[in-house]
A and B are shown apart, each in its own frame.
Chain A
Amino acid sequence: MNKIELTGTYKSFGTVQAVKDVSMTLEPGKIYGLLGRNGAGKSTLLNMITGRVFPDAGTITVDGEGVIENDRALGKIYLMGESKYYPDGMRLKEAYHWAAKFYPDFDLENAYYLAKQFGLNTRKKFKELSTGMSTMFRLSVALSTGAPYIFLDEPVLGLDAVHRDMFYRLLVEQFERHPACYVISTHLIEEVTGLLEEVYIIRGGELLLHESTEGLLARGYTATGPVSVIDDFIVGRTCIGSDSLGGLKSAYLLEPVETAQIPEGVEVSKLNLQQLFVQLTKEQGGIV
């Protein structure tokens, strides 16, 4: 069975519990969102999956094999992070050729194609790159490695709106070309919503929620109306937060609401993924 499987993983650094009892399943042919606030444990999770950090407890397997000190399993995973692997004086094109030697399935032609799409000059040296250009270069490598599991940590860091738009389109194109498992970790949730088939939301090192994006969006609602009416309305419902404006109250609900159940004077509207994320992960945020 082709998948990455985490079972009951834990990791702490000193007294800080970075990851607590997280289990996940990631399959090729799907695009996942790994969402969490800063410090929620995303990086630790990614570092454990890619074998850079060993879990204190629990198991991580790739296609049935453990990842710890297992080059064959780790060779199937590519993590695009912010680390700088390349010497300042190296030119981008040289780095592509190194990558081609390192990754047996590296698609050099595709890397050059992506560089061209992004308008990257591959004769440039790494020290000459802006943050955005560095991101674009690392994306062009990540999407060309041919790895069956590709993790993109902050894939749009430093990209302007036009380049982000371009990246989202290219990601779809690359996914169709190479239907690997793509895991995207980003703070720009609204922009990637449509791309994500499933989302994992982590908070305080714990897995808060795992669901199909469509399923999650189908049950996120805001109900707005007079305070007393809303207070009655939310009794017995899964309310994950609220806002008040004078006598007007908005409650955020995580359950499907039937039109027939909505009382007079209550306006109901959909929550998007970013709004749901904010309500679920803010301080004193909602419990699922």
Chain B
Amino acid sequence: MQLNFNDDRPIFLQIAEGIEDGILVGAFPEEGQIPSTTEISMTYKINPATALKGVSRLAEEGILYKRRGLGMFVAKGAVSKVKEKRKAAFLDQYVAGLIQEAKRLGLTLGETMELIERSYHHEQD
């Protein structure tokens, strides 16, 4: 995970997304513990309050849960929760930008679709 201070998204959201990425790729498995806010803030040289805000966001969404005296753990069903959440944001985060650039280049919808299809199949090979 790389933090970007020029990014549109605030740092606490980037922290939350970084943890989600870890959950999606299996680095933080369900029912497994995630690093403490101290570890997160030391690693990324950020204010512990920011790290805590990112982690709390995921706890509110039921992706993480707290075990008293132990720390934060990945909830059961977190992987599918993260996927659902990411799908909902997919249009805004990826498709909108793609269409904008396609229009700027004068690509038609058909041409754009063709490129998407080609790239999609290429990725699968």
Contacts and interface: CB of A to CB of B under 8 A. Distances in A.
9 contacts: A168-B45, A169-B42, A169-B43, A172-B42, A172-B48, A176-B48, A194-B45, A194-B46, A218-B10
Contacts of B38: 172-173, 176
B45 to A, nearest CB: 4
A64 to B, nearest CB: 25
Interface of A: 31, 165, 168-169, 172-173, 175-176, 190-191, 193-197, 214, 217-218, 269-273
B50 interface: yes
B120 to A, nearest CB: 26
Given A31-B47, A172-B45, A194 B3 contact: yes
B47 A196 contact: yes
Interface in B67-123: none
Q: Name the residue in B5, B11, B38, B49 with the highest tally of chain A Cβ atoms < 10 Å from its Cβ.
A: B5
Contacts of B7: 270
A217 B45 contact: no
A199 to B, nearest CB: 12
Contact of A217 (B5, B46, B47, B49): B5
Interface string B27-41: 000000000001001
Contacts of B12: 214
Contact of A195 (B8, B10, B47): B47
Contacts of A31: 47
A197 B47 contact: yes
